Amino acid sequence: MVDYIFGSVKRRLFVTVLSVLVGACSKNDDDKPSPLPEPAEIQVETATFGGSLNDSGKALVKTTDRGFAILGHTQSNDGDVSDKDAEDFDFWLMKFDAQSSLEWTKSYGGSENDRGSDLVQTADGGFALLGFSESSNGDVSENGGSLDYWLAKTDSNGNLLWQKSFGYKGRDEGISLIETKDQGYLLVGVLDVTASEGQGNQTARNHAGGDYWAVKINSSGDIEWSQYYGGTFTDTAYDVVELNKGGYLIVGSSDSFDVDISDNKGTYDFWVVRITDVGELLWEKNFGGSEIDEAKAIVPTADGNFLIVGDTRSNDQDVSTNKGAADIWVVKIDGAGELVWERTYGGSGFDAASSVVATSDGGYLIAGNSRSGDGDLQSNQGQNDAWVLKINDEGIIVWQRSVGGSQIDLAAAVIELNGEKVFAVGESASDDFDVNQNKGFTDVFLLAFSF
């Protein structure tokens, strides 16, 4: 067995897992491929990090030294958090080496609440961190009002090199970023259009509440362009990918039915926006049913298409099957935004996905959470468990595992590391069952799967 060492304390929690190979639903069950053979047993380890207050992991990336890094936020100033004094929220960056040992942690922010949501390792070996900030002091040089996008650029050791705020009077929340081919960045999230007074755009009167907001910056953090997209209700961008032929696809949720939105299915939909390199809207597509459907992540597929994951409460229109209160919903679209296939995963409770990544064998890993102990799941330890599942390129479950304790446990992000291991990160309020220790209200929750 492999020992994963998290920090100075070795925690071994090996849980034997048998795969559940329940076929996912498709438009036509007669076309459903046969289940794959069962893989070997899965060993699972867990570890928690944080202090006596609220700490959470939101994003996870592989690093060039064969290790990984986690971004989240921390309210604590004790325990594993050694470089902050106050009890406000700050970005919290954690770096692990190739042996899964914690190398260092750094916190960033000001005297108000600053929460990290996404990170990338940049071409120069450093990190770019995105989230939102309410501060205008400390590491944060300015604030436009309420919440701003806040981007922090560090070197490979987490030392802050520069930072930028983007926002207006309202609540403008940075959610996802990518490093672009020109070594700049595209940031997406939500813009409070009304409070921003339309950024000087006279069409702002047609928008209200939150819109998708895309901000393109160069490698130094200077704005090249910014555009927003949406309608008169709430539209929130959660993820973005750059296209090989130029331009970007942005995904998220929308409950608007006007202005930029042409085909609302009912309440919130998966909303996909195709834009050019300079932010011009080329096309947009809605996917969903009559209930709430929210897209959280997108990944390109090996055949030139795209996989989008989120959750659905619908059982009609684009959603062929609903297994409970809410299911993980995976939608495959082609480059023109046409639906290729869709599948739901879950049980009788509430199940949702937060992220998706491609694996070295052509499959996909999905991270989220589940309140179900039936259907596609084998067990539930109490309230929400962190849920990680792997599907093949046709959407069939290869393996799945829910991990947690009697309180709320969530998985926010997942990676395959070096083609051998799977790591997921989120947050945990438990201190029993699969969770060895709770250090405060919530802790960063790290899960390691070996095969």
Half-sphere exposure of 5 (CA within 13 A, CB side): 9
Q: Where are the beta strands (DSSP E) in 334-408?
A: 339-345, 351-358, 364-370, 385-391, 397-403
pTM over 0.75: yes
What whole-number distance in Å separates Cα of residue 416 and Cα of residue 407? 27
Q: How many residues does the chain have?
A: 451
Confidence at residue 14, expressed as pLDDT on a 0 to 100 scale: 35
- Token readout for 385 is 């468990």
Centre a 10 Å sphere on the Cβ of residue 124 and count the other Cβ atoms it contains. Answer: 13
Quickly tell me which residue has 């926002």 as its tokens: 167
- Token readout for 219 is 């490698």
User: 272 near 211, Cβ under 8 Å?
Assistant: no
Quickly tell me which residue has 């929690």 as its tokens: 13
User: 367 near 384, Cβ under 8 Å?
Assistant: no
Which phi and psi angles does 197 have, rounded to 5°? 60, 35
- Token readout for 334 is 């082609």
- Which strand ranges, in their side-by-side order, compose the sheet holding 173-179? 173-179, 185-192, 210-217, 223-229
CA distance to 110, 119, 313, 323, per residue, from 348 (Å): 43, 34, 11, 6
- Token readout for 242 is 């750059």
- Residues in contact with 244: Cβ distance below 8 Å, sequence separation at least 6, in sequence order: none
Confidence at residue 420, expressed as pLDDT on a 0 to 100 scale: 84
What whole-number distance in Å separates Cα of residue 159 and Cα of residue 144? 25
Sequential pLDDT tens for the chain (451 residues): 233 344 333 333 333 333 332 333 333 333 444 444 445 589 999 999 999 999 999 999 999 999 999 999 999 999 999 999 999 999 999 999 999 999 999 999 999 999 999 999 999 999 999 999 999 999 999 999 899 999 999 999 999 999 999 999 989 999 999 999 999 999 999 999 888 766 645 455 567 778 999 999 999 999 999 999 999 999 999 999 999 999 999 999 999 999 999 999 999 999 999 999 999 999 999 999 999 999 999 999 999 999 999 999 999 999 999 999 999 999 999 999 999 999 999 999 999 999 999 999 999 999 999 999 999 999 999 999 999 999 999 999 999 999 999 999 999 999 999 888 999 999 999 999 999 999 999 999 999 999 8
Give counts: helices (H), strands (E), the chain. Answer: 1, 30
Burial degree of 51 (CB within 10 A; 0-12, 13-18, 19+): buried
What whole-number distance in Å separates Cα of residue 264 and Cα of residue 330? 18
Which phi and psi angles does 20 have, rounded to 5°? -105, 120
What whole-number distance in Å separates Cα of residue 331 and Cα of residue 179? 25
3-class state of residue 5 by DSSP: strand
- Token readout for 316 is 């009609």
- Token readout for 266 is 């009912």
User: 362 near 338, Cβ under 8 Å?
Assistant: no
3-class state of residue 199 by DSSP: helix
